Amino acid sequence: MTGQTLVKVGMADLNIAIEGAVLKTTGLGSCVGLTLFDPQCRVAGMAHVMLPSSDIARESQINLAKYADTAIPELLERMQAAGARLTRLEAKMAGGAQMFALGGSDTLRIGPRNVESCTAILGRYRIPILSADTGGNYGRTVEFDSYKGILVIRSVQHGVKEI
């Protein structure tokens, strides 16, 4: 993906891309890199979701991109403002790893809970998940091409794959 404009998405961040720009985020461990794409108008969005629910937020000014339940609606709003239509959106996601071997405590299952939360919220909006590369115990870096709708996933352990 050379020669294209690169739009970086940091941790607990989100952004959109148009005109073939590439969205990129690094450091996906338990976080989920969620992409949305309108293939007709080629508007893409990416959120680097850290936590499943804003119910656990402790900050006074909430970072909407940090939580699945606030990041997805915010991303949808930005994409629709750029011309995307909710009925045409498709999702792909990566990440949601269980980075540490821990006991059975549900509060420590951040990666799987992030995936479950993103999946449930997308279901409420009736946005299909076309493909996903989630789980495991390794980190990922992802790039999403806003022209082709391809998500490239890189990891040290598993090399490069496209979904």
Q: Which residues are the active-site residues?
A: 31
Count CA atoms closer than 13 A to 52's CA, side-chain side: 16
What contacts 124, CB < 8 A, 6 or more positions away? none
What contacts 120, CB < 8 A, 6 or more positions away? none
